[in-house]
Amino acid sequence: MKEKLLAKFQEVYGDTEGARVFFAPGRVNLIGEHTDYNGGHVFPCALTIGTYGVARKREDQTCRFYSMNFEKLGVITVDLTSPLKPDEKLNWVNYPAGIIWAFGEKGMKVSQGMDVLLFGNIPNGSGLSSSASVEVLTGYILKTFFGFNVTNQDLALIGQFSENKFNGVNCGIMDQFAIAMGKKDNAIFLDTADLSYTYAPVKLEGAKIVISCSNKKRGLGDSKYNERRAECEEALAELQTKLDIKSLGELTEEEFEANKSLIGSEVRQRRAKHAVYENQRTLKAVDALKANDIATFGKLMNASHVSLRDDYEVTGIELDTLVETAWNVEGVIGSRMTGAGFGGCTVSLVKDEAIENFKEQVGKTYLEKIGYAADFYVVEVGDGPAEI
């Protein structure tokens, strides 16, 4: 891979003198969906697929960017002598440009240009966080080249700040955190309320994580995402008329059931129920994994999907078809949608001997029902960003 990237860098920029090669992973959330903005827990892991970058410093204040995933766009140039602001013409470069801007906002001005080439093997629009991967990768390159005194956790916070303030996406911290803090063969048990975290080993003896990509682009997702957020905030405000809580993530199932009548609409009750119950499922899932009880972990994944489908209503026919077909395949330990929903991916734990049959059966049913094919990726849990 390194040779292929350097060869392309030479083709685009003329030579490879001073060029260095970096990698930042993608991520998948094993359980704990739509809990990150409700003060709950999430349980993501970094993957061995992600974004590769070749970069070198320039003597001037010009940054040149090229992506092997968007070759038709050619080289896109950013001038560091002008104030950085989001621009449609920059296309995908708004993500790395946003990171350069965010470093400047945090008192770390990037005063020297770079030549950068990227290649990602995360499917675009899949919900595996290709944008956050690009953000963390860019931050890691800046830290390495300019000696900025930042930790990987800082890189996650800078990535979220950039996405919120530069790119205008109201995302939580999970994606950037999982990517920046990834650890091989471990998932991250993260409390989004205070960013406290522990690593939990993901030991899947005789099984693998399989990502099924629906290939449905999430057009509807952003407006519905903001709508769900607002519904949860309103439900929380109604509960706070009686309860001394800062977030839905503080409630147990019993406390929620005893007080749900404070929430004035049945729809908001269901939204809040998902946030509370999903958080509790995540706590139980981590305990199961620590006890090496993969069967219970799988059942909690299945219950998570049912809640996302019925209470939170963020799945849709594509994700439901992938998951409900997977549940009927022998050797599937658990399966659920992952990410924001309305398209994107599912994550399944599948026994090694069942993987080919899983891809065949789920793929066939999906094609027949939806009319176009799904893609499947057998992935492993990987480390955070690194120079290679």
With the CA atoms of 167, 169, 175 and 179 taken in that order, what torsion angle do they form, in degrees rounded to the nearest 10?
0
Residues classed as catalytic: 175
- Angle of the 355-370 helix axis to the 317-327 helix axis, nearest 10: 140
**234 phi and psi, to 5 degrees?**
-65, -45
Instruction: State how beta strands 186-191 and 41-42 pair.
Output: antiparallel
Whether the CB-CB separation of 46 and 27 falls below 8 Å is answered with yes
Q: Rounded to an integer, what distance in angstroms lies between the CA atom of residue 111 and that of residue 306?
A: 50
The token pair at 8 is 């392309």
Q: 307-339 burial, b for 16+ CB within 10 Å, e for fewer?
A: bbbebbbbbbebbbbbbbbbeebeebbbbbbbb
Distance CA 296, CA 285 (A): 7
- Cβ–Cβ < 8 Å for 374, 215: yes
The token pair that represents 109 in the structure block: 């001005």
